[in-house]
């Protein structure tokens, strides 16, 4: 008889009493035997018999003794979101973005699925739904869908690293078209600066177009970040929605000070606080304030409207047109790879025509420049 009351010693109290026990002796089709003796979680005969049936079924389908895989909602809400983003030093803005991805898109769809079920057709259905919603509401861009995909993949990668699933399933690729951007040429920049209301506004815009600072980096820039001796500025931090953290690349970077910018900063020097660019009471500027100053100068100068971030593009574009090597521009902008910087390559002097001319010159040294057929 596999279910009966037996003497059982409580491991905590040491007390001995009769308890309902299950004794399962199971022979597999290949001849192997599995023997299980366990205390029934339900101390009635009927409950013990039900427990015995569940044990036999788990042995038969091969799930006995295996860890139960967590469902998506529980894993993300209780384990991943409270742990992963901060453990890798994500910036506050990145953490908020991941929380939104999970709350608005990922958890509602994958809520009750186990982590090991998130693969193949289910994943395809999720991305199909995202695109269907985008077409109906004109909402998500391809870049947003790509970012959601990145969050999902990171969740699944953590699940693998933490022993929940054996592999990371393949996810559909999301191709993002190059984002549109604009920039001012040198003459337009000069007109913009000449239209500033005062020297403080001029220094604000001059800093952006001569350092390529991101908006958050410029807002968080402090007087101590200026190396007057070596004529450099050092970007160490960035501010997003009032929260200060590291730069986007999480590394400090240096950009040389031009003579005009250094003069403007020396004239600007104030005692309102540590921030170089701030309100009259020393409080930090906001992105809206940066745009207000930029757009006011644009109107007065009669220039087309561009975004604040396009001043960063203006810096890089003018540097490329001046012949600055792309790897140097990459360093100044803080790009992690040269790929992002290559968008400015076509602006280099001659666009490569001088290099092609050099090839012709080299050929002429060895003949008349006429290509010859390769040897057989």
CA distances from 282 to 162, 243, 269, 299 (A): 46, 16, 13, 27
| Mean pLDDT in residue range 12-34 | 82
- What is the DSSP track for 159-225? HHHTTS-SSPPP------PPPP-----HHHHHHHHHT-SSHHHHHHHHHHHHH---HHHHHT-BGGG
- Collapsing DSSP to helix, strand or coil, 71 comes out as strand
Contact between residue 315 and residue 210 where contact means Cβ atoms under 8 Å apart: yes
Q: What percent of the chain has pLDDT over 90?
A: 53
**Among 55-64, 88-97, 154-163, 310-319, which is the least confidently predicted range?**
55-64
What's the confidence (pLDDT) of residue 94? 87
pLDDT in tens, 113-133: 999 889 888 999 999 988 887
pLDDT band at 29 (very low <50, low <70, confident <90, very high): confident
What is the Cα–Cα distance from 139 to 99, expressed in whole angstroms? 18
DSSP H stretches of helix in 101-140: 107-110, 120-137
Residues in the chain: 376
β-pairing, 232-235 vs 226-227, is antiparallel
Q: Which tops the pLDDT comparison, 56 or 289?
A: 289
**Has residue 363 got a pLDDT over 60?**
no
**Has residue 288 got a pLDDT over 50?**
yes
pLDDT in tens, 53-68: 888 887 777 666 666 7
pLDDT band at 371 (very low <50, low <70, confident <90, very high): very low
pLDDT in tens, 135-150: 666 667 888 888 999 9
| Mean pLDDT in residue range 291-320 | 96
What is the Cα–Cα distance from 27 to 203, expressed in whole angstroms? 83
pLDDT in tens, 203-254: 999 999 999 999 999 999 999 999 999 999 999 999 988 888 889 888 999 9
pLDDT band at 108 (very low <50, low <70, confident <90, very high): very high
| Mean pLDDT in residue range 10-26 | 84
CA distances from 288 to 12, 189, 279, 285 (A): 64, 20, 13, 8
What is the Cα–Cα distance from 127 to 146, expressed in whole angstroms? 10
Contact between residue 324 and residue 316 where contact means Cβ atoms under 8 Å apart: no
């Amino acid at each position: 008889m596999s279910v009966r009351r037996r003497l059982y010693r409580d491991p905590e109290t040491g007390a001995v009493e009769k308890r309902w026990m299950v004794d399962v002796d199971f022979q597999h089709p290949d001849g192997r035997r599995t023997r299980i003796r366990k205390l029934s979680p339900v101390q009635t005969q009927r409950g013990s018999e039900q427990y015995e049936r569940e044990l036999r079924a788990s042995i038969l389908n091969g799930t006995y003794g295996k860890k139960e895989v967590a469902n998506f909602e529980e894993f993300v809400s209780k384990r991943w979101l409270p742990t992963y983003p901060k453990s890798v030093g994500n910036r506050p803005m990145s953490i908020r973005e991941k929380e939104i991805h999970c709350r608005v898109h990922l958890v509602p769809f994958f809520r009750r699925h186990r982590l090991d079920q998130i693969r193949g057709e289910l994943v395809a259905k999720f991305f199909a739904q995202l695109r269907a919603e985008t077409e109906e509401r004109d909402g998500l861009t391809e870049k947003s869908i790509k970012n959601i995909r990145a969050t999902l993949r990171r969740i699944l990668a953590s699940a693998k690293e933490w022993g929940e699933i054996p592999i990371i399933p393949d996810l559909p690729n999301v191709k993002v078209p190059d984002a549109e951007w604009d920039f001012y040429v040198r003459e337009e920049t000069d007109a913009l600066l000449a239209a500033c209301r005062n020297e403080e506004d001029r220094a604000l815009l001059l800093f952006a177009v001569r350092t390529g600072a991101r908006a958050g980096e410029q807002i968080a820039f402090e007087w101590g970040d200026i190396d007057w001796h070596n004529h450099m500025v050092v970007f160490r931090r960035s501010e997003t929605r009032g929260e200060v953290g590291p730069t986007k690349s999480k590394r400090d970077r240096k950009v040389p000070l031009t003579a005009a910018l250094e003069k403007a900063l020396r004239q600007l020097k104030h005692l309102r606080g540590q921030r170089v660019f701030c309100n009259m009471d020393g409080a930090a500027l906001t992105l809206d304030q940066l745009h207000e100053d930029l757009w006011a100068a644009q109107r007065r100068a009669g220039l087309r409207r561009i975004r604040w971030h396009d001043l960063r593009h203006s810096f890089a574009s003018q540097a490329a047109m001046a012949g600055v090597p792309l790897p140097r521009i990459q360093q100044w902008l803080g790009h992690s790879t040269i790929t992002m910087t290559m968008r400015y390559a076509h602006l280099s002097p001659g666009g490569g025509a001088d290099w092609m001319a050099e090839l012709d010159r080299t050929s002429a040294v060895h003949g008349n420049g006429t290509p010859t057929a390769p040897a057989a």
